[in-house]
């Protein structure tokens, strides 16, 4: 039997890792270091995007989840917001 606290801690660490990866991509694109970036193979995409999206919006960056066919994982494309004309 798995310990629920241990399992919750494992999920929290996984979310923290994936958030760190996506934030790094947001910072790269927002700083002008790259026009876009892709973070591939995320398993907790919904939670990660919910956490990171407000920061990305504030920095003028868009997060676009691209789900796999089985919807178990997703890649997240990060790119600069195109100003309205």
Q: Is it the case that residue 82 has pLDDT exceeding 80? A: no
Distances (CA, A) of 44 to 1, 25, 52, 72: 23, 16, 12, 9
pLDDT band, very low/low/confident/very high, at 55 (cuts 50, 70, 90): very high
pTM to 2 decimals?
Answer: 0.88
**Rounded distance between C-alpha atoms, residue 48 and residue 21, angstroms:** 10
Number of neighbouring beta carbons within 10 Å of residue 29:
23
The pLDDT score that the predictor gives to residue 84 is 59
pLDDT in tens, 7-40: 899 999 999 999 999 999 999 999 999 999 999 9
């Amino acid at each position: 039997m798995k310990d629920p606290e241990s399992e919750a801690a494992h999920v929290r660490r996984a979310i923290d890792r994936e958030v760190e990866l996506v934030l790094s991509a947001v910072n790269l694109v927002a700083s002008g270091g790259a026009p876009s970036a892709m973070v591939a193979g995320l398993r907790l995409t919904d939670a990660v995007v919910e956490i990171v999206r407000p920061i990305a919006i504030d920095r003028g960056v868009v997060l676009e989840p691209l789900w796999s066919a089985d919807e178990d994982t997703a890649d997240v494309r990060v790119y600069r917001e195109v100003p309205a004309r």
